[in-house]
Chain A
Amino acid sequence: TQLLEQSPQFLSIQEGENLTVYCNSLSVFSSLQWYRQEPGEGPVLLVTVVTGGEVKKLKRLTFQFGDARKDSSLHITAAQPGDTGLYLCARPGDSGYALNFGKGTSLLVTP
């Protein structure tokens, strides 16, 4: 069972465009994390959102946690080639120790 659905699966845009990617679940989660993974490297934590309705900004990246804590979005303003990578969302699993990851959105930003 895929607990987290990410969309779109792939996204190819030109430098300067804006974009939004989504992470959805059928169940409420206590917190959600976003990671970015560049080719050939491990995922890197970008942000954790905890409170329903919460908005966090990281330079040109804006993260939002849905009011019902079942969904989250990542908006990138004026995308740059350096934003290219795989964006993963993750939530705490039922075990209490591990994370469940979505399959990710693969973003390509071309000059």
Chain B
Amino acid sequence: AAGVIQSPRHLIKEKRETATLKCYPIPRHDTVYWYQQGPGQDPQFLISFYEKMQSDKGSIPDRFSAQQFSDYHSELNMSSLELGDSALYFCASSGRRGQKAYEQYFGPGTRLTVT
């Protein structure tokens, strides 16, 4: 079965640079979530989208923005990168809200290293 696809899998950036992470949800999933997992930490919710509209917002820095496109893929844009942004970034997707929307399936993650 098709899973959530994230690209790139690894990314190395320098401080103050910009990064864009992409997420392709499972086909027919319309909700996308972004999570950040720092070293030795649990995943923290950043932001979610449902039907191309922002749905919920967590602990996402103002330097980050995200959107969901007409084909339901999502991009997380990160600017003015800081060393503390080094983390594993997960994207997850789920089906139609109210119908097993609670079942989130995670992608393999993008490991971002800021030097």
A and B: interacting chains: no
